[in-house]
Amino acid sequence: MMKLFIGITFSLIMLLFTGCRTDYDISEVAPQDFLDSESHADHDHAPGEACTHEEVLLDEHVEDPHAGHDHAPGEPCNNEESIGEHVEDSHAGHNHAAGTRNHGTQWFFNQPWAAPFIWGKLFRDGAIFLTLGIVIFIITGRRRRK
């Protein structure tokens, strides 16, 4: 009976650990610096504002495709071409070091092997499942003996 009590108490304490949620994705529980790392080299955000780095880099060029060139009055602007130029250039001004976050690579870095802050939660989950397994083993064994 005492083992059972200890097992259940241990599981409950583990479940009440700080930062515990019913369940989680890495992107939900990641600290801001993990999500932001190495992608803010050339622009800033207000506190709490989500980063849309790709959007910033593309849109600031696309929205004003005439910024870098002039037209004579009445001359048609080859708009698509100029947009293409600017989109292509949007990645030209900065480099990402190998192994750091880059445009559209969130899926790659939001995996458990790349997120050390999740490892403690994994360990805790493992301990909870182990305890539950032992508790189930003991309970079903006792019921059978009765």
Angle between helices 79-89 and 53-62 (to 10 degrees): 150
> Which residues 74-103 are close enough to bind other proteins by CB under 8 A?
99
Stretch that binds other proteins, among 58-66, 69-77, 87-95, 122-130 (CB under 8 A): 122-130
Q: Does 13 bind other proteins (CB under 8 A)?
A: no
* 75 close to 83: Cβ distance less than 8 angstroms: no
Residue of 36, 54, 85, 125 interacting with other proteins (CB under 8 A):
125
* 113 close to 49: Cβ distance less than 8 angstroms: no
Q: Does 116 bind other proteins (CB under 8 A)?
A: yes
Stretch that binds other proteins, among 5-13, 39-47, 59-67, 135-143 (CB under 8 A): 135-143
| 3-state percent breakdown (helix, strand, coil) of the chain, nearest 5 | 55, 0, 45
* 51 close to 39: Cβ distance less than 8 angstroms: yes
CA–CA dist 116, 78 (Å, integer): 49
Number of residues this chain uses to bind other proteins (CB under 8 A): 30
Q: Does 104 bind other proteins (CB under 8 A)?
A: no
Q: Does 17 bind other proteins (CB under 8 A)?
A: no
For 128, the enclosing helix (H) or strand (E) is helix 119-145
Name the site residues for other proteins (rule: CB under 8 A): 22-25, 28, 99, 108, 111-114, 116, 119, 122-123, 125-127, 129-130, 132-134, 136-137, 139-141, 143-144
